[in-house]
Amino acid sequence: RIALQLVSGEEEGTTWDEIGGAEDIIEDLKDRVILPLQLAGASTSSLLNPPRGILLYGPPGCGKTLLAKAVARASGCRFINLQVSNLTDKWYGESQKLAAAVFSIAQKLQPTIIFIDEIDSFLRDRQTHDHEATAMMKAQFMQLWDGFSSSSDKIIVMGATNRPSDVDAAILRRMPAKFAIHLPNSAQRKQIFEVILNEEQISSSVDLTKLAASSEGLSGSDLKEVCRIAVLRRAKETLDKQKKERGDFGVMTVLNRDPLEHCDLE
């Protein structure tokens, strides 16, 4: 219940336009994942088969989950988000049932992407969990994974990690397609700002090139938080100013006057 999240491949999910500064990686994903999915069944060459496993690795907040959802949407795949961090002890006890359920759903809904965030902590012995339960789940997951990959099923397991060196060797072997997602450089940060602020009214004095240059080391997620704080601060200032000018008419009245008007990111 809490470990699985299903996202439809067509109407929901992320579009490429929602991801800034990632042209190269998007082109690579289109060539190596989406094209083979489109060609599946149309050719007898097994070299054209989609990869059965894909690893996205890099620092937190750099868009790995966004990219995985966008691949699902662009390729018309259903997206099954297996949230490993939500797996409780109870679920670990039920591990075999969970693995079987995931693949059974994936098979019924295919083409499907099974997304496993923090794949380094998945299928790995944990001190807090029973070694035997983990080992059983791992064995079954691998077996199911190997089972579909030899058939014509269109199911891709996509893993994401911040610690690629901690990913189980047996899992790495099953993920021949690996994509590094790095922290954005200055030009990429500018593009991310543009995506995040796409629908905001920002003052003409805001220089996104300057902002991008001065935000070295920040991830896409950090940049979003910076924008959120800036917009909230300006909204608060506007509310305070309006309260002073007109007397306190209550927050709802003031909010109706568009607190984000003339929002200045600086």
**159 makes contact with ligand ATP (CB under 6 A):** no
For the CA atoms of 233, 236, 241, 246, what is the dihedral angle to 10 degrees?
A: 160
**227 makes contact with ligand ATP (CB under 6 A):** no
Give the CA distances from residue 157 to residues 78, 173, 259, in Å, rounded to whole numbers and listed in that order: 12, 12, 44
Residue from 220, 230, 234, 238 in contact with ligand ATP (CB under 6 A):
220
Query: Taking the complex as a whole, how short is the minimal distance between the CB of residue 64 and ligand ATP, in angstroms?
Result: 3
Could you tell me the sign of the dihedral formed by the alpha carbons of 189, 164, 8, 225, in that order? Answer: negative
**190 makes contact with ligand ATP (CB under 6 A):** no
Residue from 52, 64, 73, 234 in contact with ligand ATP (CB under 6 A):
64
Size of the site for ligand ATP (CB under 6 A): 20
**62 makes contact with ligand ATP (CB under 6 A):** yes
**160 makes contact with ligand ATP (CB under 6 A):** yes
Give the CA distances from residue 141 to residues 30, 135, 155, in Å, rounded to whole numbers and listed in that order: 27, 10, 13
Closer to ligand ATP by CB, 66 or 155: give it.
66
Per residue, what are the HEC states of 134-183?
HHHHHHHHHHHHHHHHCCCCCEEEEEEECCHHHCCHHHHHCCCEEEECCC
> Which range in 40-48, 127-135, 168-176, 188-196 contacts ligand ATP by CB under 6 A?
188-196
Coil, helix or strand at residue 207: coil
**20 makes contact with ligand ATP (CB under 6 A):** yes
**36 makes contact with ligand ATP (CB under 6 A):** no
Query: Taking the complex as a whole, how short is the minimal distance between the CB of residue 44 and ligand ATP, in angstroms?
Result: 36
Query: Taking the complex as a whole, how short is the minimal distance between the CB of residue 161 and ligand ATP, in angstroms?
Result: 8
CA–chain centroid gap for 231, Å, is 24
Residue from 153, 224, 243, 255 in contact with ligand ATP (CB under 6 A):
224
What is the Cα Rg of the chain in Å? 22
Under a CB-based contact definition with an 8 Å cutoff, are residues 189 and 218 in contact?
A: yes
> Which range in 24-32, 42-50, 95-103, 192-200 contacts ligand ATP by CB under 6 A?
192-200
151, exposed or middle or buried, with CB in 10 Å at 0-12, 13-18, 19+?
exposed
Closer to ligand ATP by CB, 26 or 239: give it.
26
Closer to ligand ATP by CB, 107 or 121: give it.
121
Coil, helix or strand at residue 113: strand
Q: Which residue ranges make up the site for ligand ATP (CB under 6 A)?
A: 19-22, 60-66, 117, 160, 162, 192, 195-196, 220-221, 224
